[in-house]
Structures are given as structure tokens and as C-alpha cells.
Structure 1
């Protein structure tokens, strides 16, 4: 699954276009390296996203194509 889609499905970022722009701006880092929106997410990847002054760090637990809002937090583990 592409990282921009993963961020949207897991509801870490609200819209896929916003996730895409964050990747293009270099604010999304996976395993210590900045990635493009087309990066293929794998289980156990560590994703860091910079939201202004705040940084969110999560570990990928599963890659579901669709999830309910209540189950979205089960897709990742918060490491911040």
C-alpha cells in the first residue's frame, strides 16, 4: 500500500492529498529516510510525520485497505 493511502486509511492524516503534499515537502520519514508518496509501506515500518512543531512517530502494525473509524488506531502503534 502506498504511504499516502496508508496515512489516510489509518486516519493519521485526514485527506490523501494532504498526505501527498506532506511527502512531497519531505515531512514524512520512514525508517530514518524521507520518502515520496509512492513509497510502499511494510509492516513494522516506523513512520515519522512533522506537523509544524510537533512530530508524530508510529509503527505500522497492519495494512488494511479499508477500516472503520473505531478500528483505525489498530493499524499502528504510537511511539511518540
Structure 2
């Protein structure tokens, strides 16, 4: 089975054309080599793909006849993605929402002063006393 069709069948990509584009861009490797969309996949092959800033590592257990349901995906692949990759993604999400949540607009005057106080060193903004 073609690698783009396999990744579509085991639900890593929503459409085959998206899987094909990922292959053409070099996001997918099979056994350490860049894979063209037409590359054949066999059991025991290791597939590495980059999607949503995560490097997924898969081992092909079997080749499905056509697209399978989400509950049956584990029959056809073994996911060996390290847990640190998912933790890194969570950290990225949290760092984006650290200060302001999305949709709050520009910082207020008080927010701006708090940012300035945070970025300057203590005693830098104080007026000299006589």
C-alpha cells in the first residue's frame, strides 16, 4: 500500500491529498529515508512524520484494506512517539496563553505598566531624591 494511503487509512491525515502534500514537503520518512507519496509500506516499516509540531514515530503492524474506524487503528500500527513530544506541545500552548488569553485585544494602561515593571530592573525608574 502507498504511504500516503496508509497514513490516510490509519487516520493521521483527513484526506489523501493532505497526506500526499506532506510527503512532497518531506515531512514523512520511511525507515529513515524521505518518502514519496507512492512509496510502498510493508509490515515492520518505521514511519516518522511531523504534524502539528510533533514528530510521530509509527511501526506498521499490518496493512488495512481501506480506511478504518478510530477504535481499530491500533490493530494496524504501533505508536512509539515519545511522551516528551506531547509535553512539549502542552508547554507551547501554555506559553502562548501565559499573559493574555486570545481575543482580549490590546493591553490596558495598567497592563502596560505591569509589563514595564517586569522588564526593567529594580530602582531604574525611580526619581532621584535630594
When the two structures are superposed, what TM-score results if normalisation uses the length of structure 1?
Answer: 0.92
Q: CA RMSD in A?
A: 1.1
Alpha-carbon offset, residue 53 of structure 1: 2.4
The equivalent of 1:15 in structure 2 is 15
Alpha-carbon offset, residue 58 of structure 1: 0.4
- More helix per residue: 1 or 2? 2
Unpaired runs of 5+ residues, structure 2, are: 82-130
Change (3 A) 1:15 1:44: same
Flag the structure with more relative contact order, 1 or 2, with Cα contacts below 8 A and sequence separation at least 6.
1
Segments ≥4 residues shifted beyond 3 Å? none
Alpha-carbon offset, residue 38 of structure 1: 0.1
User: How many residues end up aligned between the 2 structures?
Assistant: 80
The equivalent of 1:78 in structure 2 is 79
When the two structures are superposed, what TM-score results if normalisation uses the length of structure 2?
Answer: 0.58
d(CA) in 2 for partners of 1:72, 1:15 = 16
- Asked if residue 62 in structure 1 is aligned to residue 53 in structure 2, the reply is no
- Asked if residue 5 in structure 1 is aligned to residue 10 in structure 2, the reply is no
- More strand per residue: 1 or 2? 1
Alpha-carbon offset, residue 12 of structure 1: 1.6
Alpha-carbon offset, residue 73 of structure 1: 2.5
